[in-house]
Amino acid sequence: MRPMIVLLLALVCSPAAAQQTHDREPSIQVSGTATVSTKPDIATLVYWVTGEGKTPDAASTALATKQKAIVAGLTGLLGQETRLSSGEISVIETRSAECDGPGNYNNRPRLSEGACTVTGYIASLRGDGRTTAVTKAGTAAGLAARLGARDARVQSFELANPADAQRRATTAAIADARARAEGLASGAGVKLGSLLSLNDQNAMNDITVTGASQRAE
């Protein structure tokens, strides 16, 4: 996070210098920036699971068996506080490669006969996880893959309380602006007066949290 703060401060000048301002209150405007690094305390995971079978029920059962093992494994590794969820289940038919031969443009509907006879079914779902065990996130992705997940990965690192990081960054930016103003005032032989205005140039600060990106095939 790198906010920018603009300060407008009054200057305390000598009577002669003040007279030269034609009755305008002398002031100085400075900007300050600061960078605050915060370790992530939330990790999110994503993975896909498939089950195959000669019938829709068989494919769905195979999928459920894998998903149950993955959920149990991740919960055991990451703790009961980990939130695991899954999306809708899709079941699609499979056919031989010959069914996709010349003449089948734009995947047109086909009769389930001959080369296009249904050979089986594939059930699939997407699983998601959210955990505070950040240091175990990469291990969790590998575990999910070993238990049958496909393309398991650590999707992102986040902050549970981004507002705290925003406050610390803003405070540091204000301190930086104040130090710049004091340096300029000292060089000019004047003193800083009261604060006239303060403007946050990044009122909607973006937070970037970095961590090692990990993925398991």
Global pTM value:
0.67
Statement to judge: residues 33 and 49 lie in one domain: no
- 177 and 150 fall within a common domain: no
Give dist(CA 38, CA 158) in Å, integer.
10
From 104, 125, 158, the end of a domain falls on: 158
Same domain, yes or no, for 137 and 87?
yes
Q: Which of 111, 117, 100, 119 is nearest to 58 (CA)?
A: 119
Is residue 91 located within the same domain as residue 146?
yes
pLDDT band at 84 (very low <50, low <70, confident <90, very high): very high
- Is 109 a domain residue? no
Phi, psi of 104 (to 5 degrees): -95, 75
For residue 15, being part of any structural domain is answered with yes
In a domain, residue 208? The reply is no
Could you give the CA distance from residue 137 to residue 134 in angstroms, rounded to a whole number?
Answer: 5
Domain end, chosen from 141, 158, 175, is at: 158
213 belongs to a structural domain: no
For 8-63, how does the pLDDT look when each residue is reduced to its tens digit (9 = 90+)? 666 565 554 444 545 556 777 888 887 778 889 999 999 999 999 999 999 999 99
Residue 52 shares a structural domain with residue 137: yes
- Owning domain of residue 71: 42-96+117-158
Cβ neighbours for 134, distance < 8 A, ≥ 6 positions apart: 39, 40, 41, 42, 43, 157, 211
Same-domain check for residues 174 and 136? no
Structurally, the chain folds into a number of domains equal to 2
191 shares a domain with 127? no
Residue pLDDT, tens place only, 116-151:
899 999 999 999 999 999 999 999 999 999 999 999
- Say if 141 falls within a structural domain: yes
In a domain, 190, yes or no: yes
Mean local confidence (pLDDT), 75-96: 94
Indicate if 12 and 60 belong to the same structural domain.
Answer: no
Same-domain status, 68 and 8: no
Contact 6, 31 (CB under 8 A): yes
| Structural domain includes residue 209 | no
Inside any domain, residue 215: no
Q: What is the residue type of 33? A: T
Q: Are residues 90 and 173 in the same domain?
A: no
Same domain, 145 and 173: no
Burial 191-209 (b: 16+ CB within 10 A, else e): ebbeeeeeeeebeebeeeb
pLDDT for residue 193 is more than 60:
yes
Q: What is the CATH number of the domain that holds 124?
A: 3.30.70.2970
Q: What is the mean pLDDT of residues 158-168?
A: 83
**Distance in angstroms (rounded) separating the CA atoms of residues 7 and 10:** 10
Residues 21 and 88 in one domain: no
